[in-house]
Every structure is written in structure tokens, then in C-alpha cells.
Structure 1
Amino acid sequence: MIIYNIWTVLQWYVRPILKWFLRKTTRLCELQRICYGDIAGAQRTRNVEKSLSLSRTKDVKEVISFLDRVVLEKQFVPNNFHNLLDPSISIIMRVKKINPRLHSAFISPFRSCLEQIWSYKNLVIEVEELRTIQFDSNNIEHEEKLLKLWSLLVPDETLESRISKQWQYIGFQGDDPKTDFRGMGLLGLENLLFFASQYPRASSHVLSHSLHPTYGYTFAIVGINLTAMAYYLLKDGCAKTYMFNAKQYLPNLNLFHRFYCFLFYEFDKMWIESKPQNIMEFSVIFKKFENAIRTELADPASVFRINIEVDIV
């Protein structure tokens, strides 16, 4: 703790001197060096975010506060990017003395970083709101989503009634799944539904493993536990590696669902490879899995994809 505090103090004084020296020798500000030198994706965006957050310049701080406020007002959406980011970029370039005619190549990568940074902040709020919505059996939309989950996972078997022991087949604890969604709210159901609808082959593959006579586990309960993992990885910023390296997408709810699907598929793979004697080994394997994911996310070059492997267990 003492060493950390000393390092923090040293950074406070040394950082401006180092930035001044590099500016004089390279004729580029820190943001330019990042946008020109770092690989596009998590490495570049996280470094831009760090540079902006450490800035002591009043105008830069005001831009950050403005964009943060826009996110809270739920106005940071693609249709507004032009009106929000153009003036923000202009202010930062003016403050950093970046000539737009000489450094037009800076604008595009810097804009992409800003889009990713504040889309991520917007996603955190969106996911939090979904998590706080409790499953309501009197809500027709909630009920329809739950029934759809059954039909997607077990298309060849009709659900005899809404309250049924059949729910245990797909890994709920009792006869009524609504009690299992308490911790993660509607987010847990939305994650499971996305996995079953968007990755039918992968979800069917995982469900078949969960029904294994020796290595089986409760599919839905594990899925809700993985929702919690994805949620906390998002909240503490570890998920930025996944989000910022997804080149075709900005951080949004669909991308969060895809992240969850990746976690579910990979956890299932680790579980089967671990050959557990019984479900009592779940907490140990789950923690091992979380540590492995955190280690992988610590590498800004990591890219995550679901690669279906045909196996016989």
C-alpha cells in the first residue's frame, strides 16, 4: 500500500515532465502518439481513455464531464455521434495544439476511441437497469420470453404447464423458474434467451453436456451464475478488452450478450475437460474459469470467438 502511494505521487509529478519531453522530441502530444502508434482496438482505446482521465486541462475535463452527462441522459446513441463528438474533438485538438490540416489522420482513430469509450459507459448503465428489473410472472412479456426459452431449448417436447418439474430438465432448481432470476433479474433470462436463439447449435451442444449422467450440471443456474460473472467483468472494466476488440460492433447490449455466450460455451468446455466427480466441484472450477478469463482479458490483444467443436462425452 505504501509503495503504491509513493508510485502514485511520483506519477503525479513525473508524468507531466515525461509528456513535455516526449512532446518536444516527437512533436506529437500523447493522444497523437497513442492513435498513431498503438494497435487499433483495446490497446489504443484503453490508452486514450487513460490519457483523457489523467488530463489536468480544464477544457479536456469539461469535455469528459459533458460526454458523461450525455450518457446519463441516454443521449449517447449513434444518431447523435456527429453532433456530440465533432465539437468535443475540435476542443481537444485545439487544447492539444493539433493542427487538423497537418494531422487529419488523427481524427478518425481518435473518434473511434471516443465512440467506444462512451458506448461502454452507456452499456454499463443499460445492463445495470436490466439487472434491477425483477422477473414478474404477471408481466406478459416476461412470461412469453420464459416460454420461448423452453421452446428453443426443448423444441420437441411440449411444456405441460407453466409451473412444472419439466423446468428442471433445462437446469432450473424448482417447478417455477422465476425464483432463480432474483439475483440477476431479467438480465439472466435475456442472456439465456439470446444464447438459445442466436447460437442454437452451441446452446444445444452445451445443454447436452449439462444432461450428462456423470458430468451433468444445472444448465440454467450455471447460466445465471455466468450472467453474474459477465456483469461484474463489465462493471470493473475487464470486459473492455472483449468490447473494444470487437471491430464490427460498438459496445452495446447485443455485444454484452455475445460476451455472455462466449463465457457459457468456454465454461462448459472447461467443466467437461475437468471431469468433475460431482456438482460439488462447481465453485472450484467456476473460480478457476473466472481467473483464466481475467488473465486472458488482461492481454489487450485477446480476441474472443465461439468455435464449435464436435465432441462425444
Structure 2
Amino acid sequence: MVEMYTYIWLFVSYYVRPIYKWFLRKTTGLCELQRICYGAVSGAPRVRAVEKSLGASRSPQIAQLIAHLNNVSDNHRFVGQNGREIVSGAVSTVLLVKRINPRVHFQFVKSFGHCIQQIWGYRQLLADVESLRTTTYDPDNVEHERKLMLLWEALRPDEMLASRITKQWQDIGFQGDDPKTDFRGMGLLGLENLLFFASEYGNGPASHVLSHSLHPVHGYAFAIVGINLTSMAWQLLRDGHAKTYVYNTCKAVPSVRVFHQFYCYLFYEFDRHWLACRPKSMMEFSDIKTKFESNVKASLQDPNNVFSIRLADTV
């Protein structure tokens, strides 16, 4: 039965869809990309629809364009003036292939260009985040050590570290006396996520969450949970669930900062979820995390969702 439905879907996609698109073009005077950019809500609904349309195109020129944009974003070259020129070139290619007059459809040029920024900016963001994840924390690297010290200062501004290796690290949720061993799974990305949360939201959400982690009954290991949430955020970015957040948040090419902000939202909301579950010990972490992740994925299914930390709740 499943195979039959798959066959029907493939048949419709391959034969019926082009006829339907041709019919709409003849009756509306607009190609599918124009209809999307003029009719779909801005943000994730529009960008994802454009992404799907481009991916389904049978045009060799469009396929070549997609391969070029993939190469650019995978090699971190979708930035600055180079990025703007690439967007302009991509728009020009589509205008030519689809026979669209830019003087008449100037709004399409703007909307479609923004979609190009988001789609391949997201792909570049994934490459940037993966580069951080695969960078091993190195205690001999001065910059890595500086960031670790900044993390301590942001979370414990009134307390000095007795030494580089000390049990004090356990006060902010590391497993042992030396945090470097806890970064193995997520590399430098785990540290940068924690540091961003502690630095950007130190006077509100971060201190709020840290205080909850120290609860005598329902507490948890702040740093270890944070690194686990880095893994969750990375998985959501990699499998495409995070597109809803990124496409609804960014006005330009997404940067790693956007990923950090997404992580902060997850950490803050996980803390709320954890306390609502009232666990008796960290042994319940896996089940609670699984349920939380399912809830996040369900929320991300709504293309109109915009996530943000509710600062009023931290007062």
C-alpha cells in the first residue's frame, strides 16, 4: 500500500505538476516562483516554498545555479560584497530562465533575493556551526582558554577561581576539575554556546537558569545540560527543523550569532520544562530531554512560529 501511494505521488510530481504549473502560468501570467513571492507570507512560509520550488525545477540552468550556490555556502564564501554579488547573479539567472521583466516585477526581485539569502545563508550557517563543532577544545590555545575564563567570570562574577584546575568548575555544572574533558562531544561549539548565553543574558535568563540548576532537589548540572542542548540545537539545525526559526528571525544572511540565540532559547525553555517536570534526580534527564525535543520539533512545524525568550518571566 505504501509503495502504491509512493508511485502515485511520483507520477503526480513528475507528470501532473508540470502541466498544472503551465496552466497557472498561462492563466495568471506568473511563474511559480512569482506566485510564491507575491502570495506567500514573508518569512519561513515564503522561503521554504521557494526552496521547494527551486529544488523541484527541471531547468538545467536552475540545477547549475543550485550547485554553484551550494559550493559557495559550503566554503563559507556567502558573505559581504561577495554574497551580495552572488545573490544578484542568482536573481538575474532566474529572471532570464523564467522570462521575468525586472522593471515590471521589481518587488519579485527584492523578495526572491531575500529568499536566496536565507536558503543559502542557512546552508552556510550549518557549515560554520559544523566547523566550530569539529574544533577540539585545546587548553594550549590561548583564545580557547580565554573564553573558558570569560565563562566563569560571566556566571560567577563575585568569585575568583583558585586555579585553572579546581573543583569550583563543578559549581557551574561541569563534571570534574577540568572542563576541557566535557567539551569532547561538541568541541568549541559547546563552549561558545555557553559563553554566549552567560554573556548576552547574564543579568537575566542565564543567572535565572543557573540558580535553578543549583536547586537542592530539582537541580541539574548547568554546563553539562548546556552542552547536551548544544547537541540538540545542532541536530535541529542539521535536519532542517531550525529553518522555521532562522527564516522567521533573519533579515540578512544568517550568522553563527543566530544559532547562539536559538540555543539560548532552547536552554531557557528547557529549564522551564525541567522544573515543570519536578524530577527527583538527573537520572530522569534523558526522558525529559526527549519529551522537550519532541515539543520543540512540534512547535517548529508551524512555519509562523517565532521563538524568543520571555524576559518578563525572569523577574
Q: TM-score, normalised by structure 1?
A: 0.96
Equivalent of 2:96, from 94, 109, 112?
A: 94
Question: Structure 2: which 5+ runs fail to align?
Answer: none
Partner of 1:211: 214
1:306 aligns with 2:293: no
> Considering only aligned residues, what root-mean-square deviation do their CA atoms show, in Å?
1.4
1:30 aligns with 2:32: yes
Shift of 1:171: 0.5
Query: Hey, what's the Cα distance between the residues in 2 that align with 1:212 and 1:107?
Result: 54
Contact residue 188 and residue 224 of structure 1 kept, 8 A: yes
Contact residue 197 and residue 260 of structure 2 kept, 8 A: yes
Query: Hey, what's the Cα distance between the residues in 2 that align with 1:273 and 1:72?
Result: 40
Partner of 1:57: 59
* Matching of residues 60-75 of structure 1 within 5 Å: 60-75=62-77
Partner of 1:242: 245
Equivalent of 2:200, from 189, 192, 198?
A: 198
Equivalent of 1:253, from 245, 252, 256?
A: 256
* Matching of residues 1-313 of structure 1 within 5 Å: 1-2=2-3, 3-200=5-202, 201-310=204-313
Query: 1:166-200 CA deviation, whole Å, 9 max, x = no partner?
Result: 11110011111111100000000000000000111
Query: Hey, what's the Cα distance between the residues in 2 that align with 1:7 and 1:70?
Result: 33
Give the match's secondary structure for 1:256. Answer: helix
Query: Hey, what's the Cα distance between the residues in 2 that align with 1:132 and 1:102?
Result: 47
Shift of 1:5: 4.6
Query: Hey, what's the Cα distance between the residues in 2 that align with 1:180 and 1:162?
Result: 15
Contact residue 244 and residue 250 of structure 1 kept, 8 A: no
Give the match's secondary structure for 1:8. Answer: helix
Letter matched to residue 166 of structure 1: Q
Letter matched to residue 112 of structure 1: H
Letter matched to residue 226 of structure 2: G
Query: Hey, what's the Cα distance between the residues in 1 that align with 2:276 and 2:247?
Result: 30
Query: Hey, what's the Cα distance between the residues in 2 that align with 1:111 and 1:130?
Result: 28
Shift of 1:38: 0.5
Question: Structure 1: which 5+ runs fail to align?
Answer: none
Do the aligned partners of residues 5 and 173 (structure 1) sit closer, same or farther apart at CA in structure 2, a change above 3 Å counting? farther
Runs of 4+, deviation exceeding 2 Å: 3-6, 247-250, 308-312
Give the match's secondary structure for 1:237. Answer: coil
Contact residue 243 and residue 250 of structure 1 kept, 8 A: no
Letter matched to residue 203 of structure 1: A
Query: Hey, what's the Cα distance between the residues in 2 that align with 1:63 and 1:171?
Result: 47
Shift of 1:248: 4.2
Q: Identity percentage over the alignment?
A: 55
Contact residue 131 and residue 184 of structure 1 kept, 8 A: yes
Query: 1:189-224 CA deviation, whole Å, 9 max, x = no partner?
Result: 000000000111110000000000111000000000
Shift of 1:74: 2.4
Query: Hey, what's the Cα distance between the residues in 2 that align with 1:180 and 1:92?
Result: 47
Shift of 1:249: 4.9
Shift of 1:82: 3.1
Contact residue 249 and residue 255 of structure 1 kept, 8 A: no
Letter matched to residue 23 of structure 2: F
Query: Hey, what's the Cα distance between the residues in 2 that align with 1:87 and 1:311?
Result: 46
Give the match's secondary structure for 2:310. Answer: coil
Do the aligned partners of residues 106 and 311 (structure 1) sit closer, same or farther apart at CA in structure 2, a change above 3 Å counting? closer
Query: Hey, what's the Cα distance between the residues in 2 that align with 1:165 and 1:46?
Result: 48
